[in-house]
Structure formats: C-alpha cells, structure tokens
Amino acid sequence: MKQSEEKNNAGGPARFLRTASFWALIVLIPLAIFQVMDTSRQVEKELTYSEFRAQLDADNVMKVTITEGVRVEGELRRALQENGIEIDHFNTLLPTEASQELLDQLEERGVEVEAKEAAANWVNYLVSVLPWILIIGLWFFFFRQMQTGGSRAFSFGKSKAKLLSGDTPKVTFADVAGADEAKEDLKEIIEFLKDPAKFRRLGGRLPKGALLVGPPGTGKTLLARAVAGEAGRPFFSMSGSDFVEMFVGVGASRVRDLFEQGKAHAPCIIFIDEIDAVGRHRGAGLGGGHDEREQTLNQLLVEMDGFESNEGVILLAATNRPDVLDPALLRPGRFDRQIVVDNPDVKGREGILKVHVKDIPLGDDVNLKILAKGTPGLSGADLANIVNEAALLAARYDKDRVYMDDFEAAKDKVMLGAERKSMVLSEDERRVTAFHEAGHAVVALRVPGLDPLHKVTIVPRGRALGITASLPEEDRHNYTKEWLEGQLTMLFGGRVAEETIFGRSKITTGAGNDIERATALARRMVTQFGMSDAIGPMAVGDQEHEIFLGRELSQRRDVSDQTAQLVDSEVKRILDGAYASAERVLTENRSLLDDIANALLERETLDADDIRLLEAGEPLPPLPPADGPPPAPALGPGPAEESSAADDRPLEGTGGEPTPALA
C-alpha cells in the first residue's frame, strides 16, 4: 500500500505540471496570435484606391506586390505619421484588375513591381476546420477515458470503491455489542489475514467471502467498519448500487477494476453494502432492462470464483434480503460463510445500551438492565435512537444528567409513537376511546397466558387515538396456540367494549386496524402454522399469486377452490370464537371495565401500578398539582419488561402498533 501511495504521490506533481502546461498553451497561443496581428496593424495601413493613387503621384511608393491583379501590398518611400505611429507599409484593393496604364505609371516612377498568385488563407481554413477537429478530439478523448480510465470525471468503467486511509476514524469490535457470534467469525478472518501460516499448517485456506445477513438496523455495516479498524489491511468499501450505471457494460467493468485494485493491494478486504442491488436472482426481470445487472452479477461471480482465482482478496458483503440473491452467489467458494446478525437478546441489548451511553452523564437511578428487558425485538439502531432521544429530552428540560424517566419517555416515544398533545378530541370521542382501550386492558388482565400490561393511554400517539401496551416477561421465540388465541381475543376487546357500552349502531372505525391484524393472524394460524383441525398441518400459502415463467407473467393458484373456501371458513370460525370470548370476558368484568375507562377519562394515562390498584378495587393515588413537574413514566411490571404492543384506536381505522413478530 505504501508503494501505491508513493506512486500516486509521484504521479501527482507530474500530472499537475502536464495539466498546467496544457492550459498555459491554450491561453498563450491565442494571445500570441492576437499580439502579432495587433503589431501588424501598427505598421500597415489599408489605403483606398484614391489614397494609393495620391501616394503614387507623389512618388512615395517604392515597391508593390500585386496578388491576382486586384490586391496591392506595398512599401512606402517615406513613412506616414498617424496618431504618432509611423506607417511604412500599405495595402489596397483595386476596383478592377490592374490595367496596362497603371503598370506603365508604376514603371515610369521606378516602382518595383511583383506579381504572385493568392496564397492559401490558413486562418480561414483553420476557422472552418477547427470545429470538426474539436468534435473528433472530444470523441476520441471520451472513448479513451471509457476504455482506460484517467480523469475521475470521465472514468465510467472505474470502480467507485473507497480505500480507507490511516486518518479515517477507527471503529473496533469494542464499539460493537449484541453480535458475539458474528464477531467471532469475523475475528477469525482477521487473524487469517494477519497470520495465515497458523491456519495453513493444517491445510486450511483463506475464506473467499463472508455474507452478513440480518434485519435492518442490526449493525451489519457497523461490523464491517469494525473489521476495517481491526484488520490493519487495505479495506475497500462501496455500495451495490455503485455498480449500476446508465451505460451498458459499465457495471461489469467496475467489478473488474475493483478486483484488480484488490489484487494490487492483496491481502485485502472488499466490502459491498446492500449487495442485493446487484446480486438478485437472474432471470427474474421483465423485458431487457435487467440484462445490464445480470452482466454485472456474472462478472462478480467470475471474479470471486472463476477460471482465475483472486488469492488474498476477501469479499465481505451485507444484505437484509438474502432470499432474493442468486444461488450461484451464495454457494461455498464464493461466500464461504453466511453470518447471521439478528436482533439482539436481552443481554445483547444491555451491552448495546452500555456502548451508546459511554459519553452520556447518567443519573443514579438509571438501570440499563431494566431498560434492556423493556425493549424486546428492537435492533441496535432502535436502541441508539432511544439513548439519543433520552439525551435530547433531558437537555430540553435543562437537566445536568439523563435520568431513568428520560429513558422511559424516550422508549415510549420510539416504541409507541410520539404523543400528539396538540390534537384535541371531543368529549364523545374521548369517552369512546377510553372504553375502547379499557376493553383491551380488561381482556389482557383476565385471559390467561397474555403478557402483563405496561401502559394504557388515551393520549394520541402516532396515528392512534389510544394505546394499550403489554410487555412480555422474557424473550419469546415460539408462540403457543393459546397465546395466539389470547391475542385475537385482546384485539377484539376494543370493538366488543364499544358495542357493549354504546350499542351496535354506535360502533366506530377505531377497531379497523384491530380487525385487520386479527384477520391476518388468524389466516397465518390456518395456512402457515397448522393450527386448524379442519385443514391440518398443511402449508396452504397464498391462494393466488403472480409468477414469472420465462417471458410471460401468469397467475397460478396453489390450492383448489374447495380448499380456499375451507380456509376462509376456518379463519372466520377462529375470529368468531375470539369475538365471543371477548364478549364473555367483558360481560363478566363489566365493573372493572367501567373503572378503567373512568380512570382514563380522569388521568388519560394509566401505568402498570395504577392498573393493579384498579384490579384490586383500591383507590388510585391523588394526581400531582397541575403546575407541578410532570410525573415520571412507569417502569412497568417489575423486572420483566419485554414489548409486544397491543394498541389501537388508529385514525380512520388504520395504523396502530404492529403485532409481535411471529417466528
């Protein structure tokens, strides 16, 4: 790498001198031409024919040159004075070709006469030819640039990869938490680069590629930056979209140039972020627009493991869409390792929070373990956002430190949405919303197996007019049928509460998102999870979808009409059962429903402690004075704080919080 830098440094001054010389010539040559023309204008004068005859009659003409019989250029015996300048040469244009009379007069006065043909006018010739020379020159210049590179502005076929230099801020594995297995795999690759003999003594070979796979925000790019900081070897980074260009063949050319640079700096690491932009499955496009991308992918496959191997070049790539990548790209020999970077568990979340709060002054009441337990399913980017929001919130209130209530408020903002305090609801809407959320809360309290309630509020957040949030007690990776049926019952709790209190004719659109989510969950139970006795353990999949076959787009049904009808009837049976279960629960707990709804109308937000008091039939503590500080958000039901929002009352029947991801 030092040799390459020295070469670049050596070529820099020479390239600068060549460029400076070129532009100097461009500027100086026209100046010189104009100077010569200007000088000639100072010693030569254009005379009219009458003035020429006057000088001839005065015997002041010493020599003339007649060109084509009409153009006379001559020299005077005595210079003329004009504006302080001596003029001793002249030229004039005869009205007709030189007559014998004029020649006789010139001979009588002893004037030396010379006749010659018209010389080629190089100035006019150059003016007429110069545009064509410029066009041909520019075309040739662009063609050379596309073929061989050169100036960055016209290097279409050159790779856009950036070589990290020594002054780039370094990220190390100490700055990465929550991905221990991924770090171990990447550390082994770094050790191989630093000490290949340690692994080759038993016949091992250097991995050719490692693919980082995981949801967005889990730290794939951060891990690649840590590899760059730890490896101590040349590290090239670029995005998959950098290969895409409007010119045909440019992507393949950039792939070739990228690996040529890599081989020149071997052993080195090349990182391609979002590789799915160029590595999608071949033959999956419509029309001819995908041919350029497929050429780029073919060239990438050849460079990674083709006839000529690229020893010492490790390709590191990242994607959150491994399902769309071409199988030839994923096979061993190209990507020898697929490293999964998933959402962190509770221990990983605590480690990520510790990394992000290193430079933040914390209050004595901050407990990162409780905060980690209350943020299940969140990625590293989400946790970083929570820490940043907490710091901004503390700064807004001029605090000297960030306290636990700031983190809790930031967590609610990220997970549930920002409060919309400026949104004014009518008293009727507030009452409907309160009973709607109270219905969710009562079902969550009375149906066994559901997650503990964390917060119930009728303060609009995001697109929802109210939210009922639950926090699971531990990380959950599998979901039982009992839990799923309880979720369906809870989703219908809001609609059933509205119908119970206000009557069927007064139900609102607030349950639209609840019904949509419940229907989707019930269909997955039937078609994917095998939780229907009538269907059995059969993955039905989508009933109808579009597929691409060769050159045409067609529709195909995976199930018969009878099976599709059976699926619909099973989904309806499950939903009707959940609705009936919600009706039974709310009918049996009508007094608790009224208590929670009235408390929401009075306080707008109830935390876990308030809900436990209402469930036990005890009075709630008095509200703080109106001009006092805002109450700190609740920390949830004890140490078990995992999130699975079961919200609602979205505006116009849409929005709300998503259901927990189902493995």
DSSP structural state of residue 378: -
| pLDDT at site 323 | 86
Below-50 pLDDT ranges, the chain: 1-12, 36, 38-42, 149-154, 166, 286-289, 543-554, 627-629, 631-663
Measure Cα distances from 583 to 521, 527, 557 in Å: 20, 26, 37
Question: How far apart are the C-alpha atoms of 382 and 356, rounded to whole Å?
Answer: 11
CA triplet 632, 633, 638: central angle to 5 degrees?
115
Q: What are phi and psi of 177, to 5 degrees?
A: -135, 160
**Contact, 25 vs 45, CB < 8 A?**
no
Helix (H, G, I), strand (E, B) or coil at 98: coil
This prediction's pTM: 0.64
Nearest CA among 552, 531, 555 for reference residue 542? 555
| pLDDT at site 15 | 52
468 bridge partner residues: 456
**Contact, 380 vs 178, CB < 8 A?**
yes
- For residue 237, what are its two tokens? 């980074």
Nearest CA among 416, 584, 571, 572 for reference residue 489? 584
Question: How far apart are the C-alpha atoms of 554 and 126, rounded to whole Å?
Answer: 64
| pLDDT at site 652 | 34
If DSSP states are collapsed to H, E and C, what string results for 146-199? HHHCCCHHHCCCCCCCEECCCCCCCCCHHHCCCCHHHHHHHHHHHHHHHCHHHH
Prior bond of 267 cis (ω within 30°): yes
- For residue 505, what are its two tokens? 């004719």
The sign one gets for the Cα dihedral 646, 649, 653, 654 is: negative
Burial profile 253-289: b = 16 or more Cβ within 10 angstroms, e = fewer: bbbbbbbebbbebbbbbbbbbbbbbbbbbbeeeeeee
CB neighbours of residue 189 within 10 Å: 22
From first CA to last CA, the distance across the chain in angstroms is 47
Question: How far apart are the C-alpha atoms of 498 and 584, rounded to whole Å?
Answer: 14
**Which residues make Cβ contacts (< 8 Å) with residue 90, sequence separation at least 6?**
44, 45, 46, 47, 52, 55, 73, 74, 75, 76
Nearest CA among 471, 516, 526, 524 for reference residue 492? 516
Question: How far apart are the C-alpha atoms of 319 and 216, rounded to whole Å?
Answer: 9
Q: Report helix, strand and coil shares of the chain as percent, to nearest 5.
A: 50, 15, 35
| pLDDT at site 286 | 46
Helix (H, G, I), strand (E, B) or coil at 495: helix
CA triplet 103, 107, 109: central angle to 5 degrees?
120
DSSP structural state of residue 6: H
Helix (H, G, I), strand (E, B) or coil at 465: strand
Q: Residue 483 carries which side chain, given as an amino acid letter? A: W
| pLDDT at site 24 | 55
Read off the pLDDT of residues 2-27 as tens digits, 9 standing for 90 and up.
444 444 444 445 555 555 555 555 65
**Residues with active-site annotation:** 437
**Contact, 461 vs 418, CB < 8 A?**
yes
The sign one gets for the Cα dihedral 658, 659, 660, 661 is: negative
The single residue listed with the structure tokens 């639950």 is 470
The single residue listed with the structure tokens 């006065």 is 109
